[in-house]
Structure 1
Amino acid sequence: MQLRNMTHPNLVLFDVEAHTKEQVIKQLISELNKEGYLESEQEFLKAVLEREEISPTGLERGLAIPHGKSTSVKKAAFAVARLNTPLAGWESIDPTNQVQLVFLIAIPESEADSTHLKVLSTLSTNLMKDGYLEGLMAAETPEAFMNRLDEEKVNEPAADQTFTKTVVAVTACATGIAHTYMAAEALEKAGRELGVRVVVEKQGASGIEDELSADLIKEADAVIFATDISPKNKERFAGKPYVQTRVAEPLRKGKDMVQNALNNPDGVVEKGEADDMSSPASSGGGFFKDAVQAVMTGISYMIPVIVAAGLMMGIAKLGAMPFGLVNELGDPQYATHSNELFVILHHLDKFGALIFKFMYPIFAAFVAYSLADRVGLVAGFIGGAFAGGLHHTFWGIEEGIPSGFLGALFLGLAAGYIARFLNQKIQLNKNFQAMKPMFLIPAISVLSIFFLNFYLVDPMFGGLNVLLRNWIESAQGTGDVVLASIIASATAFDLGGPINKAAGAIAIGLAADEVYPLTARVLAIVIPPIGLGLATVIDKFVVGRRVFPADLRVAGNTSLLLGFIAISEGAIPFMLRNPLITIPINIIGAILGASTAVLLGAVQWLPLPAIWGWPLVENLWAYLLGLVVGAGFIAFANIFVRFSLEKRKERNA
């Protein structure tokens, strides 16, 4: 693919002044729109920001490749920004990366699995070539930059280069795009420098590319798995020494990985037991690290289920609002109502509730999958079904209390560890190998989950849920505030990070079990970005001067906007700049706002924190008052603390 055909000199911007990731992206989108590539700037911006939520698009060596697929893109293209001042706040696979060269790729939805991947793979592979990036950074004009986009490869092996060893590798990232190809190129380059033949199979978003042949695998001396998801068809590598790591590692330690695979491997893929290798999230980190990373994997797969369920119920309730039927929509009379609209809204509401029932099975299944690969899926799914109380439904136990999130967590982990243990320990004659994954492991692991749930999980965690529910119901406000404070503080702590996500999973689990609403959770998502954005607007009116530097004032405008659409990450630049100030104030503000709203009777059961979800809140006035209290505290506390620090600095100058 010729990259220069995918852009235009007017889309190559030099000496760009920007202080945030969003500023860069918006400027490039504006240029794409001016050149006629977009139908709607806002629609494409939304697609790009949604992609940013999935995984880092910042790479290393000053690079970032944000991208988006949208129906608003008329024709595939990319725009480039070379920044005057590197950005340190762009989330990257290399935590020290300071972004200076940005490629923004725009792809029509209809070309999502073709042009999209070709551009990303070509660009990301080229960027790993020796001298390629330096050439782009040295270009003095947009035309020169475009000419260098398709320069010939500069690090191809010499025709007469001989290799004494062969290493095969598999690369795969969560989204199957840029990192997959960059890791592959990094490994091949490291191999050439070491005199080792490295051949890489890419397992990307469009499937397996450059698939390794059976003869090549047989010839290989070792295998490298550089993946963020479980590699496919691992059984092919039985008997080979292996190294397993995350997809970003070859970009930093390519040579070390090749040498370790040959001289100091993590282990050997045993014959007939290839599936016992855990996913990269659970390799070599010990019991606790394996468990934590498995839980995070389960949460990542559970989130789309939650979103889908919330949207279905939200659409139904918003549709019922003009008729005053939001709370009555679940009444069976509306299933056969004479008004067809009411019938549809009723079933759509029930449909959302049905989707919620699959939240725990999906979560537990992928927790087990992270630990044991495919052999853990069935037992994990069954464990999640127990946790969701589906057995009570099918067995006709009307008063049954499901074990909920804690049950799903316990049974998912148990299913994964049991399945992995069985896969490692059961030895069969090669003629009966197929019985192990198809019959023995599912039978024993599922039976184990049944007994664990029957004698331990249901009595313990189901009972705990009963106690929690009774405590909340009998607390008459005090218990509500304590729980609201815990959920709000964890949500506001790291602005979309792992603690935030763990708190969200627990809060949503409690809501799904009808134990405790999501009021504190949804408020704590929006309070920090709104509060920090507000602080940058009113500081000069409060203390008579600006207390935020220019770059944070720009970030504040973005943070304020993103807060209203429930994207808390807009406040991250503030946290990165002054974590000791920002994090405690965020936590206190979220607690104050959530507690105020809960005490005054605000109730939100749906995971819809954005402004369009506010009409679904019971006692909206209390909810908005809590938002004002929390955001106001964060705004004024930041202003006064920073003003005090500025005055102290001036006195000491």
Structure 2
Amino acid sequence: MLLSHVTSDALIFLDQPWSSREIILENLCQRLFDAGKITDKAAFLQAVWHRESLSETGFEQGIAIPHGKSPTVLQPAFAVARLTKPVADWPTMDGEDQVDLVFLLAVPEKDDEGHLRLLSTLSTALMDEANVAALKKADSVAAFLATLDGVNNTPAKPVLPASSQSIIVITACSAGIAHTYMAAEALEKAGAARGITMLCEKQGASGIEDAVTDAQIARAQGVIFATSVPPKGKARFNGKPYVSTSVSEPLKNADGLIERLLHQPDGIMAETREQTAPAQGQQPRFLSTLYMGVSSGISYMIPVIVAGGLMIGIGQLAASIFGVTDIGSNRYADHASETLVILHFLTLYGSMIMKFMYPVFAAYMAYSIADRPGLVPGFIGGAFAGGLHYTLWGGSGGIPSGFLGALILGLLAGLIADHLNRHIRLHKHLQAMKPMLIVPGLTVLAIFFINFYFVDPVFGGINQFFQRFIVAHGTGSTLILAMIIASLTAFDLGGPVNKSAGAIAIGLAADHIFPLTARVLAIVIPPIGIGLATIIDRYIVRQRVFDENQRITGTTSLILGFLAIGEGAIPFMLKNPLITISINMLGAVLGAVIAISLGSVQWLPLPAIWGWPLVQNLPAYLTGMASGIAFIALANVFVRYHLIKRGRMAIE
């Protein structure tokens, strides 16, 4: 297919007197609209200006390649303006800011016809001085188009010997067109001049092109990430030297980036053990999708947890200075002291932020699977998991599905949206409806029925079972009841099971039937324990068993644990639920049993550090707590170390 098939005579404007970037983009957008390539001129022009704000689209030789990616684009196309006089208000990479040849690329959200590769060919062809000179000398539109079609006939790149050095290159830009391919081209040329094979993986608008293999990665000297968006699959390069830079940098100094990688890399990608994938079936793909979705969701959820926990911690800690231990109770909303009123609402503010933990997790889990079409359905699924529907619908007695619900609904939202997006076929004039209306609408509808008929009933039933189980053992022996309350409190770290156990435990304490010792210990032991594990692993087994992101999360969990906020450990639970939940429950039970056996008693619902002095027999309480924390920390380290040794777990 020729480049002339992606444009037309009506989209080529030679020797125009347009005198500014605004006038040029306005006119070219209008021509694309008149030609039926876009459905909404204003929306597309906004997308183009957004791209202009990210980085330069002006290059050497007076070339500019502005572009916009938008659902208003019906099919890939480009319009051209050759100017009679260079405009001086277009930022270029060579600093000259003089542009006289402009190619405006219109990029659709999805492309099923393969035209996007042609647009990338155009971008890379414009790096050739001979091509640009010919385009500037063309005396007619027909000659101009003939020159464009000639760039497809450029000779293939020379293949270097297999024994030569090689470097992996990952390029990606926000639109996935011009810079993605031009950066790869620049690095390939610089590498060829050095006799180095540059293995360029382009993560563009058409998906991943020229994906590097495991064998190529193993032989490569390192990897250059030239991206303006987060690159996909970075874990593949663990153990390799790397350089990370913007997608525009290779166009300015490609050879300098190669020199930097070879002699002064930014660092070494975190090392990990190679995992052996199952040999057949769809299981590896599904498990990989699930794992990447969970990891993505966790990374976006952590700031929510930290922000909410910080607000709660500030409110409660400051209130404790004034002797207040129940700052969140309604009686402080109209208190005579303005300071206590502010602290009251600051605490409630933190609790409100925490409500968005599961919606953000599920939204970005779905987003990692289905891209933008999965974002809204995932968010709504997470809202169901957090119980937002019970609040807004005015219902009573409903129990949220918690982290398991968020996990299931986020996964299904992503899979359903991705399936619909790939299999629904519409006429080209209706394509814009698919990502904006059809896919999210059908996915949200599916999420409603899945939650209504499966997630809420199943997990609501489980939680009701736990409630009845606690009540049934309310008159049992002291240690048995302590073990039940501690294990269920630690089960989901502030989720519905935890809250069910808390409601019963607080009720028993209010009636002075059974103290809250097991309950308050089980709140703080898991987050402190797993946070400690991320710090001591290298001292215990002489290697890291948590990756860098988990170590950062672990520090947060440790700090929040002293504030009695267990949600800091939820990312570990979501990533490895079987390991984390079982160890948390055992550690909480161990700590509670030891503290109670030694005579510790706590009647007040004050698990945070400022409540510890109010415990009867504090040494026994701290002994039990230390025992539970130590068990969780050591168990996490040794279990993970064992699984890593057997190749069943990797440090990402």
TM-score range normalised by the length of the shorter chain:
0.3 to 0.5
Give the TM-score normalised by structure 1: 0.44
The structure whose Rg is larger is: 2
